[in-house]
Amino acid sequence: MKPLKVIVATLACCVAATVGATEFQALDRTAAAQVVNPSTHTVPTIVALWSSECVHCKKNLKLFAEMAKADRRFKLVTVAVEPQFAGLAEPLDRLAVPGQRFAYGPESPEALGYALDPKWRGELPRTYFFDGKGGKTALSGVVAEATARSSLGLQSPP
């Protein structure tokens, strides 16, 4: 009977971890500045800004999810540039997008956008690539896999 308890406890932990992974954290100006600060990313990291209405954002998210599944050398962070609502996680869940998830919190969208990047004018998709060594590249638009890998400092798949 003891092994059954261990299995049940392990499954409960896995379910709790999975549920927690789909939760959004409310983004405020402090968190926004941290999420795009190169010194906070000690491994190659993609920070993908997206919106539920943005078709091109979903193209990038699909690519990034596929890359993350095939290559565990980098992490993926998503930022919904809109407040959390019921159903916001559906596009991410459908594409199996891993990683930490943020959604705009109660502060003004303009203030949050400025905290993310004073040079950003709101165009989507917007992606920030961190090489894990202090380097940062910001790109707007649909991104090719080769560009993403190069920007992360990962020249080839594992």
pLDDT tens sequence across 89-125: 999 999 999 999 999 999 999 999 999 999 999 999 9
Mean pLDDT over 58-81 rounds to 97
Sheet architecture: strand order including 126-130:
24-27, 100-104, 75-83, 45-50, 126-130, 136-140
Residue 134 within a domain? yes
According to the model, what pLDDT value does residue 7 have? 37
pLDDT recorded at residue 104: 98
Higher pLDDT, 86 or 1: 86
CATH number of domain containing 134: 3.40.30.10
Asked whether the predicted pLDDT for residue 31 surpasses 50, the reply is yes
Determine, yes or no, domain membership for 16: no
What value does the mean pLDDT take over residues 66-89? 96
| Number of domains forming the structure of the chain | 1
79 occurs within a structural domain: yes
The answer to the question of residue 6 being in a domain is no
Residue 155 has pLDDT above 80, yes or no: no
Once rounded to an integer, what is the mean pLDDT over residues 117-146? Answer: 97
Whether 9 is in a domain gets the answer no
Within-domain flag for 10? no
Q: Band of the pLDDT at 4, cuts 50, 70, 90? A: very low
> What burial class does residue 55 get, using C-beta atoms within 10 Å of its C-beta: 0-12 exposed, 13-18 middle, 19+ buried?
exposed
Write down the mean pLDDT value for the chain: 88
Whether 129 is covered by a domain: the verdict is yes
| Adjacent-strand bridge partners of 46 | 76, 129
Contacting residues for 59 by C-beta, under 8 A, at least 6 apart: 125, 142
Pairwise pLDDT comparison (118 vs 156), residue with the higher score: 118
pLDDT tens readout for residues 44-58: 999 999 999 999 999
- Range of the structural domain that residue 59 is part of: 24-152
